[in-house]
């Protein structure tokens, strides 16, 4: 599970990226086996921060072809299925979330996110060095996708208003310059 940056700002959506499956060796490789019955879960209430789902997008890594995806849970508890995967194929799932504007989400708060998944597949049984039979296992646990830590940061807008005019009479016009600078640790979003 990949994060877009080391920091996030309240109200500014960001996207986690899941690559399913992603093998340990070689790192990031697809499975050499066909996989089926793939179910992914992501509980946004156990991250350490208050997050809400904004949207889901999925596609085949090899071709970019879209994969239909529907959250069967709610905006805090994600649960979705993916189509069966042929050996060597991977699906990329983009999970866009936003930090809620709540007292829980304080500047400097670190948080992580974990997605779990399960799948089914045929496994060769080989007790005596000879393949005797195949057995279908469902469900099998996939390795959890755990994000790198992120930290909540916030913008700090400083506004200066200046004018070359030093005195005005009733009905006079004057030009003013409004300068806004963000001296904070995060992007300002939807500022007014």
**Rounded to whole angstroms, how far apart are CA atoms 53 and 141?**
24
Q: Is the bond preceding residue 21 a cis peptide, omega within 30 degrees?
A: yes
Nearest partner of 21 among 92, 125, 95, 121, judged by Cα: 92
Predicted pLDDT at 133 = 62
As a whole number, the mean pLDDT across the chain is 91
Predicted pLDDT at 128 = 64
Burial track 36-46 (b if 16+ CB lie within 10 A, e otherwise) = eebbbbbebee
**What pTM does this model have?**
0.81
| Residue 85 pLDDT > 70 | yes
Taking CA atoms, 124 is separated from 32, 141, 159, in Å, by 13, 17, 68
For 61-65, the CB contacts below 8 A with 24+ separation are 61/19, 61/30, 61/89, 61/90, 61/91, 61/92, 62/89, 62/90
Token pair listed for 96: 């866009």
Predicted pLDDT at 122 = 85
| Residue 91 pLDDT > 80 | yes
Predicted pLDDT at 131 = 55
Predicted pLDDT at 126 = 66
Predicted pLDDT at 70 = 94
| DSSP SS3 for 58 | strand
Confidence of residue 23 (pLDDT cuts 50, 70, 90): confident
Identify the weakest region by mean pLDDT among 69-73, 84-88, 123-127, 171-175. Answer: 123-127
**Rounded to whole angstroms, how far apart are CA atoms 18 and 92?**
6
123-182 pLDDT, tens digit per residue, is 876 666 565 567 888 999 998 999 999 999 988 899 999 999 988 899 999 999 999 999
40-58 pLDDT, tens digit per residue, is 999 999 999 999 999 999 9
Residue 122 CB partners (closer than 8 Å, separation 6+): 33, 34, 134, 135, 136, 137
CB 154 within 8 A of CB 12: no
CB 7 within 8 A of CB 153: yes
- Per-range mean pLDDT, top range of 86-90, 153-157, 187-191: 86-90
């Amino acid at each position: 599970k990949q994060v877009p940056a080391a920091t996030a700002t309240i109200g500014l959506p960001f996207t986690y990226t899941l690559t399913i499956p992603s093998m340990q060796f070689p790192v990031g490789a697809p499975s050499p086996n066909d996989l089926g019955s793939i179910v992914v879960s992501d509980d946004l209430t156990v991250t350490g921060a208050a997050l809400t789902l904004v949207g889901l997008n999925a596609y085949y890594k090899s071709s970019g072809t879209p994969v239909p995806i529907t959250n069967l849970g709610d905006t805090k508890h994600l649960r979705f299925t993916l189509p069966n995967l042929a050996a060597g194929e991977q699906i990329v799932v983009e999970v866009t979330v936003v930090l809620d504007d709540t007292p829980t989400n304080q500047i400097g708060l670190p948080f992580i996110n974990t997605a779990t998944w399960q799948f089914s597949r045929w496994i060769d049984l080989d007790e005596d060095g000879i393949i005797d039979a195949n057995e279908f296992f469902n469900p099998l646990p996939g390795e959890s996708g755990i994000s790198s830590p992120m930290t909540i940061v916030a913008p700090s807008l400083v506004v200066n208003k200046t004018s070359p005019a030093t005195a005005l009479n009733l009905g006079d016009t004057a030009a003013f310059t409004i300068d806004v600078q963000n001296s904070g640790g995060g992007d300002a979003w939807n500022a007014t």
